[in-house]
Chains A and B, each alone.
Chain A
Amino acid sequence: MKLALKRIGFLVVVLGIWQLVYSVGIFEDIVFPSPIKVGEALYEGFADGDFIHALGASFRHLFMGLSLAILFGTIIGVLLGKSKQADETAGMYLIALQSIPSIVWVPLAIMLFGFSEFAVVFVVVLGGTFVMALNVRTAIHSVPPQLVRAARTMGTKGIPLFFRVEIPSSVPYFMTGIRLAWAFSWRALMAGELLSNGPGLGYSLRYAQDYARMDQVVAIIIIIGVIGAVVDQVVFSKLEKNVRKRWGLMKS
């Protein structure tokens, strides 16, 4: 309870400073909205369904993109993890690809697929795939050899060994991979939508900017941040923690 109080207190202080800066009038009203106006924009956006509509579209893109990213990432990761040949050939490039910010892919996506929703999904897929692949590769590499030896003395080898030992042993890294893939995909999604023709939260953001509705811009930024934090904390961190506990990687 004390924790919640501390956090709320901090938020109040931030809002206070914000209001203070607004009241002093350093910036013009049109570029620096007050917290109250942003609150109103948030309320209106949800009340008339604009934000809900945009969020729905964004989540649709994210869901498609992230699913594909996890699928492709897992395939690439398993391939690189299992085959030394493949890893030596392509492993380096994977790290290079992973370090490319996803917004860089947007022009390419638009040229290839036009201003379509598919272009956005494409960027999301690229955003998540590489980090997923890297984590799956690490997962396969970090299967304790001791467990493999033990399984072999019990007559387990080949494909059963892969499914009964290597895969379950990889689950904690796999979970980390999914969490990171989500985080990267979420960023990629916003980058993609910002330059798309909608619908989506990123598109709404640019739309609001075009019409100089800074209250809406800030409101959307808040939504993006809140969703990012909530999904990470409520879904992925919890899932990852439970898995790590069960696998004995963390003291309970």
Chain B
Amino acid sequence: MDQVGKTFQDEDNRSFEVFSNIDLTIEENQFVSLLGPSGCGKSTLLSMVAGLEDVTTGSIKLEGKDIKTAGPDRGMVFQQPSLFPWLDVKENVLFPLKGQWSKQEAEDRADRFLQMVHLSRFKKNYIHELSGGMQQRVAIARALAMDPKVLLMDEPFGALDEQTRHILHEELMKIWHETQKTILFVTHSIQEAIKLSDRVIVMGTRPGRVIADFDINLPRPRKRENENVIQLERKVMTLLEGEINKVLKEELSHEVSP
């Protein structure tokens, strides 16, 4: 990413700058987290990488090529599973493969990735018959099945309960080891970022910017009780405290002035 900026125009043509001049380079096969309080633009940045939002200034490149629109070289998993309810589990995974792969290959890939997320048994089930965690696993299988260069994840476990999230963290780690995909992961949870990533990029708000960027070289699996993990968490917490207060203050001041 090179000097990336995003400005929204609201209805009265007033512009609102979410962030500007963000420079990032993400290495292949890395697990990178974008961490920050709400409003820092981390999800917007991810949408721009996905090609769902236009880049206002600067450019985003994937393997040297400019990103202009959305495409299957970047798989995305949203906070909501966003599966198609009229298709069964397998058909959902097949959705992006139709027309891209031969029928047999598509079938094989769908089966393989469903197995990877341990949902082979539920191939023929409809989406509403699955729990939230299972739905999110289908979404991950669907994104991986089209063999993207990068997997973008926008708070994928944010809507799940604690236990399910825990299980999915471990599954995601396994999947990442198996597939060796580059993962760009957006989260507001410090623990989640530290537990999963090779590298954490901490973003601040108003204006959105990168306030810290560090590698984590701790061995996996990382336990919460681990001395180093706790230290890291504290470090990030202090970094973010000021930012979170800023957001709070702003939200409260809106409340007071009518």
Contacts and interface: CB of A to CB of B under 8 A. Distances in A.
Interface of A: 144, 146-147, 149-157, 164-165, 168-169, 171, 246-249, 252
B71 A149 contact: no
B85 A248 contact: yes
Interface in B120-167: 126-129, 142-143, 146, 152
A145 B50 CA distance: 15
A150 B85 contact: no
B8 interface: no
Contacts of A168: 84, 86-87
Contacts of A154: 72, 75, 95-96, 142, 146
Interface residues of B, number: 29
Contacts of B74: 153
Those 8 A-B pairs whose CB atoms lie nearest each other, nearest first: A248-B128, A154-B96, A150-B82, A155-B72, A153-B76, A152-B70, A248-B85, A168-B86
27 contacts: A144-B82, A146-B78, A146-B82, A149-B52, A149-B78, A149-B82, A150-B76, A150-B82, A152-B51, A152-B52, A152-B69, A153-B52, A153-B70, A153-B72, A153-B76, A153-B152, A155-B71, A155-B100, A155-B146, A156-B95, A156-B96, A157-B70, A164-B95, A168-B86, A169-B84, A246-B126, A252-B128
Interface in B62-90: 69-72, 74-76, 78, 80, 82-87
A20 B72 CA distance: 75
A152 B52 CA distance: 8
Nearest to A149: B52
Nearest to B88: A246
Contacts of B84: 147, 165, 168-169
Contacts of A144: 82
* Dominant SS among interface residues on chain A: helix
Nearest to A144: B82
A31 B69 CA distance: 74
B86 A150 contact: no
A248 B81 CA distance: 14
A35 B129 CA distance: 50
Contacts of B69: 152, 157
Interface in B206-233: none
Interface of B: 50-52, 69-72, 74-76, 78, 80, 82-87, 95-96, 100, 126-129, 142-143, 146, 152
Contacts of A152: 51-52, 69-70
Nearest to A165: B84
Contacts of B96: 154-156
A246 B71 contact: no
A192 B183 CA distance: 65
A153 to B, nearest CB: 4
Pick from A152, A154, A164, A169 the residue with the most CB of B within 10 Å. Answer: A154
A18 B85 CA distance: 50
A181 to B, nearest CB: 22
Contacts of B126: 246, 248
Contacts of A151: 95
Nearest to B130: A248
Nearest to B95: A154
A169 B86 contact: yes
A148 B21 CA distance: 29
Contacts of B51: 152-153
Contacts of A171: 86
Contacts of B143: 153
A154 to B, nearest CB: 4
A150 B128 contact: no
Nearest to A150: B82
Nearest to A160: B99
Nearest to B75: A153
Contacts of B72: 153-155
Contacts of B76: 150, 153
Nearest to A245: B128
Given A168-B86, A248-B128, A153 B95 contact: no
B128 A153 contact: no
Contacts of B82: 144, 146-147, 149-150
Nearest to A153: B76
